[in-house]
């Protein structure tokens, strides 16, 4: 390889894409090897990467059960349910729960737990952007761990409108997002390492480059990963839209939703403008 070839390859690593130019969510979550790594992370109660820690999830479930008076009659749809850490726990209250996720590994794990415990949960392996929800059927929709943030503006609008249509008359939506405070604290950076993230990206040897970008105008963050295996090179893009209260209020309003309550997380802690995440409870406007 000439110096020119190497330079060009590194320029590609360093290249800033346009906002939301590439979408690689299914490569991130559904590739069989990575889905296995994700599952290990979800199931490790001390690892807050794929799901929040076990202690937080328990606190969150306790708060949700009280706040939404969850019980036998509650129809819940959990979007991006992963391996069912929330979904199965909510089903243990007797609620009628549906979990939607496009990762077959996560869904098969969630189903196996439900079967072992004899829980009545419906698991749908589906892209929630294409998932059809019965109109007016859902008392509580959840989108937990900032799952709105990697979606493009049109994907967000489509998902929120679908959720709004799916809510029953008194139905509520609980979701959390990254905040403007998180955007302010983020820096552009780059790093690379051999078997980056301890072998998270691929089974064999590889080099992983991580390039973090900030898009000031859009309040958007991107972690772009370039993975160089001996026989192939590919990129994974992890977008994170950060929200001010006004922006979140406007986006939800454009999809027919009205925010009723603000929190700093899905465990019901008081809203904190300095927090890097915030959670809201919304209803049909
Ligand atoms: C950050 S994890 C959160 C999992 C779960 N909500 C929790 O807090 O434990 C995001 C989940 O959303 C799923 N996901 C991401 N995009 C999706 C899509 N378009 N359709 C369905 N599932 C999706 C991923 O497979 C993953 O399980």
Structural domains for the chain: 32-178+243-284 (3.40.50.150)
The tokens describing 173, both together, are 């939506």
| Residue 129 Cα: closest atom of ligand 1 | 19
Residues with CB under 6 A from ligand 1: 25, 29, 50-51, 80-82, 85-86, 100-103, 106, 127-129, 144-145, 147
The tokens describing 282, both together, are 């919304």
Q: Position of tokens 């008359």?
A: 169
Distance 20 CA to ligand 1 centre (A): 18
Is the pLDDT confidence value at 73 over 90? no
Q: What is the pLDDT of residue 95?
A: 97
Distance 176 CA to ligand 1 centre (A): 13
For the chain, give the percent of residues with pLDDT over 70.
100
The number of angstroms, rounded, from the C-alpha of 150 to the middle of its chain's C-alpha atoms is 7
Mean residue pLDDT of the chain comes to: 97
What is the per-residue pLDDT across 96-141, written as a single tens digit (0 to 9) for each? 999 999 999 999 999 999 999 999 999 999 999 999 999 999 999 9
For the chain, give the percent of residues with pLDDT over 90.
99
Q: Which residues contact 197 (CB under 8 A, 6 or more apart)?
A: 208
pLDDT-derived band at 1 (thresholds 50, 70, 90) equals confident
Cα-trace Rg, the chain: 20
For a pocket test of ligand 1, which of 37, 77, 101 has the largest count of ligand atoms closer than 8 A to its C-beta? 101
Name the residue with the closest Cα to ligand 1, atom 20: 127
Distance 127 CA to ligand 1 centre (A): 9
In this prediction the pTM is 0.97
Helix, strand, coil percent content, the chain, rounded in steps of 5: 35, 30, 35
Q: Which residues contact 183 (CB under 8 A, 6 or more apart)?
A: 214, 219, 221, 242
Choice among 131-135, 205-209, 279-283 with the minimum mean pLDDT: 131-135
Q: Position of tokens 């979140």?
A: 248
Q: Do the Cβ atoms of 256 and 284 come closer than 8 Å?
A: yes
Buried b / exposed e across 247-280, counting CB within 10 Å, b at 16+?
ebbebbeebbbebeebbbbbbbeeeeeebbbbbb
Is the pLDDT confidence value at 251 over 90? yes
Can you tell me the distance from the alpha carbon of 197 to that of 278, in angstroms, rounded to the nearest whole number? Answer: 27
What is the per-residue pLDDT across 163-202, written as a single tens digit (0 to 9) for each? 999 999 999 999 999 999 999 999 999 999 999 999 999 9
Name the residue with the closest Cα to ligand 1, atom 26: 82
For a pocket test of ligand 1, which of 23, 48, 147 has the largest count of ligand atoms closer than 8 A to its C-beta? 147
């Amino acid at each position: 390889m000439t110096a020119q070839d190497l330079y060009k390859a590194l320029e590609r690593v360093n290249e800033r894409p346009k906002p939301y130019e590439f979408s690689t969510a299914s490569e991130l979550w559904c590739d069989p090897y990575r889905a296995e790594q994700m599952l290990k992370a979800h199931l490790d109660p001390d690892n807050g990467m794929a799901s929040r820690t076990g202690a937080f999830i328990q606190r969150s479930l306790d708060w949700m059960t009280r706040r939404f008076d969850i019980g036998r009659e509650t129809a819940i749809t959990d979007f991006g349910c992963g391996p069912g850490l929330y979904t199965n726990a909510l089903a243990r209250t007797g609620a009628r729960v549906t979990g939607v996720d496009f990762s077959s590994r996560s869904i098969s794990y969630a189903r196996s737990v439900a079967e072992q415990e004899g829980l009545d949960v419906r698991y749908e392996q589906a892209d929630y952007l294409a998932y059809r929800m019965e109109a007016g059927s859902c008392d509580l929709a959840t989108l937990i761990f900032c799952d709105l943030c990697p979606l493009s503006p049109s994907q967000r609008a489509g998902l929120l409108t679908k959720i709004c249509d799916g809510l029953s008359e008194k139905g509520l939506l609980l979701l959390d997002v990254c905040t403007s405070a998180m955007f302010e604290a983020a820096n552009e950076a780059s790093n690379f390492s051999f078997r980056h993230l301890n072998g998270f990206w691929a089974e064999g040897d590889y080099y992983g480059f991580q390039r973090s970008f900030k898009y000031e105008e859009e309040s958007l963050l991107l972690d772009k990963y370039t993975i160089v295996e001996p026989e192939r090179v590919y990129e994974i893009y992890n977008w994170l839209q950060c929200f001010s209260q006004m922006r979140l209020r406007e986006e939800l309003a454009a999809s027919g939703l009205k925010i009723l309550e603000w929190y700093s997380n899905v465990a019901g802690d008081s809203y904190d403008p300095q927090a890097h995440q915030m959670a809201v409870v919304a209803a049909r406007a």
